[in-house]
Chains A and B, each alone.
Chain A
Amino acid sequence: MNTAGTPSRAGPLTTAWHRWRYIVDPAILFAVVAILWEKAVDIFHIKPYLLPPLSKVLAMMWERRQLLLRETWITTLEILQAFAWALVCGILFALLIHWVPTIRRTLYPLIVVFQGLPKIALAPLMIIWVGYGTASKVLMGFMFAFFPVVISTLGGLAGTSPALLEHFQAIGAARGVTFRRLLVPSALPAVLDGAKTAMPLAVIGVIVGEFVGSESGLGHLILDANANARTDLLFAALVMISLVAGFLYLGIELVARRVWWRAL
C-alpha cells in the first residue's frame, strides 16, 4: 500500500537523474559500440567492402541523404500500412474467433496452418498476384505481423478475470457494455504486447517484399548497393532501417505506457 505517497528521501533531483539514466545509459552504450566499430576496422585491417568504418557510412548517409530519405519514406509508409492492417484485421479476427464458435472451428485452424508456411517463400507469389507496386510489400508485412496480433488479442480476451465477468453478469451488463467496459481494457495490455511483436515483423515483411521485386524502398536500395559493391551505401540503408524500426517501436512503447494497469 502506497497510500501515504511516501516522499522519497533522495529528493526530486535524484528522480530526474533516475529518469535521465534511461536515455543516458543506452546512449553511452551506443557510443561505445560506434567507437569500437570505427577502431576495429582500423586495428584489424578489415577491408572497406566488407565492413566500412562508421565515419564512412555516416559520410555516405550525408552525401546521399536525399536518396536515403526518399527510400526511407517509401518503406516507412509501407511498414505503417502493413502494421495498421495487421493490427485492425488481427484484432477483428481475434474477436470473431472469441465470439463465433463456428469461426473458431473453421477459419482459425486454417490460419494456424497457413501460419506454418515460411512467408518468405510466398513473396514471389505476392509479386505475381498484386504486382511490383506498394501493395505487394504491404501484403508481405501484413502476413508477417498479422498472426502475433491475433494470438495476443485472443490471450488478452481469454485472460479477462472470471470474477469480473461474473460481476458484470450480476449487475446485468449487456454484451456490448461488458465488451466496452471490461473486455477491451482487460485485453489492451496483451494487444499492445502483440503490437510490439508485430511491428518489427512488419518491417521484416516489407523489406523481404522489396527484396523480391521492387524499384524503390530501402530493401531495393540494399540490393542495388550490393550489386554495385557499395557496402557503405548498404550500411547506410541498414542504419536507416534500424532507425525506422526503433522509432516505430518507441511509438508503441509510448502508447503502451498509457495502459499502466498491465503490470497489475
Chain B
Amino acid sequence: MACALSLAIETIPGIDLSVPITRNVVAKLRPIASIGYDPEASEVFAMQSVEHAVAESLLVKPSADAGDVAIALRDVAKTFAVRDDEVRALERVRFSVLRGEFVSVLGPSGCGKSTLLRIIAGLIRCDPGGDVEVFGRPRVGVADDTAVVFQSHNMLPWLTVERNLRLAAEVRRMPAADIHQRVEALLPVLKLEAFRHRYPHELSGGMRQRAGLGQALVLRPQLLLLDEPFGALDALTRDQLNVELLRLWQEVRKTVLLITHSIAEAVFLSDRVLVMSERPGTIVDDIAIDLPRPRDPQTTKAAPAFGQYILHLNQLMGVK
C-alpha cells in the first residue's frame, strides 16, 4: 500500500519533494537532538526545555531564518464577549512553526486550541497587541496558501464525493484542468475511487473524513491546519486515518498544525508537541518528539521513547 501511495503522490505534479532543507534547519537548531532514547526521562525533558529556549530565540530573531518560518505567533490573546461577560480564551500565546514541520497543539477541551487554529487560519482576528505571521506575512484574513480541515466534515450533502472534492478548488478559481487532474490523482490515494459518485450520507464516517481531508489536499496548501479532523471517529478508524495522514505528509512534507486532545496521536504524528494550559489557553510546554521517521504504528509505538513521551505529557496535562 505504501508503495502504491507514494507512486500516486509522485504522479501529482507540483508537489515539492525536495524538503530535506527544512529537516536540516531543524537539526541545526537543535544541537542536542541526539539525546534520542535516554531511559532517564527527566533528563531527556530537562534537555528539551533547552530546545524550547532555542525555539524561543528563533521567535525573537525571526530575521535569522525568516524564510523557514511558516507560522510565527507573538503575544496572541483572544477575548470573547459572552452576553455581558468576557471570556478570555487565549492569553499570550507565542510559538513558531518551521516550514515542513508537523506540529501538534495538545490541550484539554475548552482550552482555546480551536480558537488558536481559527486565528492562524485567518477566520478570526486576535486581540490587538498580538501578531500572527504566516510565511512572513501578517495574517489579516483567509489566504490561498492555507487549508483547514475541521472536525465536522466539510461535505455538502447534495454533492457527490467527486464534486465535493472539486468544490474548494472551484471556489478558489483554479483552472478546471488542474482541478480534474488533482482530483483524479487524489481519489485513489484517499481510497475513494470506488465511491466517487456516492453522496456523503452514503459513506462511512472514516470515508467522509478522508474526503474532507481530500478537499483540503486538492488545494495543495503550503500550510495545512487540522482541527481534530478525526476526533468524531472511533479509535480504530482514527488510528488508521492517522497512519494514512502520516504517509501523505511524509510524501509532501508541507507544514501541518494539528489540534488534538489525544496525547498518543500528537506524539505519533508530530515533530513537536505544544502543550496548552486550561482556559485561558497558553502554551506551557514545547516538546520535540525525537522519534525516527518514517514512523509506522508497529515500530514507533513500540519504541521505549514513545512511552516516555506519553508518560511525560500525561504528567504535564495532569492525568494521574
Chain A residues, Cβ within 8 Å of B157? 261, 264
Pick the contact of A182: B156, B172, B219 (CB < 8 A).
B156
Q: Which of B167-204 contact A (CB under 8 A)?
A: 167-168, 171-172, 195, 198-199, 201-204
A188, chain B: closest CB distance, angstroms:
9
Do B152 and A3 touch (CB < 8 A)? no
Does A124 belong to the interface (CB within 8 Å)? no
Do B158 and A163 touch (CB < 8 A)? no
Interface centre among B143, B156, B172, B195, by most A CB within 10 Å? B156
Q: CB-CB contacts of A1-23 with B at 8 A, as 1s and 0s?
A: 11100000000000000000000
Pick the contact of B198: A3, A166, A167, A168 (CB < 8 A).
A3
Closest partner residue, chain A, to B199 (CB atom)? A261
Does B142 belong to the interface (CB within 8 Å)? yes
Do B158 and A167 touch (CB < 8 A)? no
A73, chain B: closest CB distance, angstroms:
37
Do B202 and A185 touch (CB < 8 A)? no
Do B123 and A185 touch (CB < 8 A)? no
Interface residues on B, range: 20 to 34
Do A166 and B150 touch (CB < 8 A)? yes
Q: CB-CB contacts of A181-201 with B at 8 A, as 1s and 0s?
A: 110010000000000000000
Interface centre among A1, A3, A167, A261, by most B CB within 10 Å? A167
Do B171 and A3 touch (CB < 8 A)? no
Q: Which of A154-185 contact B (CB under 8 A)?
A: 161, 163-164, 166-173, 177, 181-182, 185
Chain A residues, Cβ within 8 Å of B168? 171
Does B115 belong to the interface (CB within 8 Å)? no
A166, chain B: closest CB distance, angstroms:
7
Does B121 belong to the interface (CB within 8 Å)? yes
Chain A residues, Cβ within 8 Å of B204? 1, 3
Chain B contact surface mostly: loop
Does B76 belong to the interface (CB within 8 Å)? no
Do A172 and B158 touch (CB < 8 A)? no
A3 to B192, CA, bound (A): 12
B115, chain A: closest CB distance, angstroms:
13
A180, chain B: closest CB distance, angstroms:
10
Known contacts A171-B172, A172-B171; is A164 also within 8 Å of B154 by CB? yes
Do B171 and A164 touch (CB < 8 A)? no
Chain A residues, Cβ within 8 Å of B199? 261
Do A181 and B171 touch (CB < 8 A)? yes
A51 to B10, CA, bound (A): 82
Known contacts A177-B171, A185-B156; is A3 also within 8 Å of B150 by CB? no
Does B16 belong to the interface (CB within 8 Å)? no
Does B65 belong to the interface (CB within 8 Å)? no
B234, chain A: closest CB distance, angstroms:
14
Known contacts A1-B203, A1-B204, A261-B158; is A170 also within 8 Å of B171 by CB? no
A125 to B168, CA, bound (A): 53
16 contacts between A and B (CB under 8 A): A1-B203, A1-B204, A163-B152, A164-B154, A166-B123, A169-B123, A170-B121, A170-B123, A170-B148, A172-B144, A172-B172, A177-B171, A181-B167, A182-B156, A261-B199, A264-B157
Further 13 A-B residue pairs, CB within 8 A, beyond A1-B203, A170-B142, A172-B172:
A1-B202, A2-B202, A161-B152, A166-B150, A167-B150, A170-B121, A170-B123, A171-B142, A172-B143, A172-B144, A181-B167, A261-B157, A264-B201
